[in-house]
Amino acid sequence: MGTITSTPSDLYSTNREGLRRLKVDSQQTSFESNEQFRIFHRFIDVPNGEQMVFKFAVTNPVNIQDRKINLWSGGREYLVIPDDGSYGAVDAVLTTPVQVRTVNNNLRDSGLDTHPVSGVTVNYGTGADLFAIGDTDQFPNGDAVLSDSSGNKGNSNLLDSPQLSGVGENQAFYLVFTGINGNSGTSGHFLVQWEERF
């Protein structure tokens, strides 16, 4: 019977020496590999009657790791709607590009000369009734965030839940925020962070 002289490679999270970790470690190697990206968007006094829409177009597979919605006024229902090609009129309204930023700007650990370029593009826009959402319509994912009448912040954070999500290559989807508390405007922050599989 032979003797085991090294750790089997399938116990590692990646095959790159210096970056790999045992799979029981909760730290993603994508951080040191510089393969994590995010968007951060700030909005002020968006009228309750207007939907806020972000469209994500993905070329590389993506694992969404974090999503935070922080509101200090107003309230929003957040829904994920896959792009089935029938929303051309909505696309025409999404005229504001949202900058995709790197999470780890330290290249020393990875040994890379330049940071990988994200294959995700994000566009944003607002408008009334961009998506007709009925009371019985169902969606693959969603949430709701509401600030209270005294101005206390309402927030939602994906990391509080183990239900993370992945998106396959060459897909697109919309993140739709619809007003849920009368006529007050919505002010807050929205952050999404993900790792890409290059």
Which region among 33-42, 66-75, 134-143, 169-178 has the lowest average model confidence (pLDDT)? 134-143
| Mean model confidence pLDDT for the chain | 86
Cα(119)–Cα(194) distance, rounded to whole angstroms? 11
Classify strands 165-167 and 62-73 as parallel, antiparallel or unpaired: antiparallel
Full-model pTM: 0.83
Which secondary-structure segment (H or E) carries 154?
A: strand 154-157
The closest alpha carbon to 154, from 177, 136, 129, belongs to: 177
Tens of pLDDT, residue by residue over 43-59, are 999 999 999 999 999 99
**Token pair of 151, please?**
């101005």
pLDDT at residue number 137: 77
Query: Per-residue confidence at 159, pLDDT binned at 50, 70, 90?
Result: very low
Look at the block and give the residue holding tokens 């750790």: 7
Cα-based torsion angle of the residue sequence 180, 138, 194, 188 in order, rounded to the nearest 10 degrees: 0
Query: Per-residue confidence at 157, pLDDT binned at 50, 70, 90?
Result: low
Query: Per-residue confidence at 179, pLDDT binned at 50, 70, 90?
Result: very high
β-bridge partners, 18: none
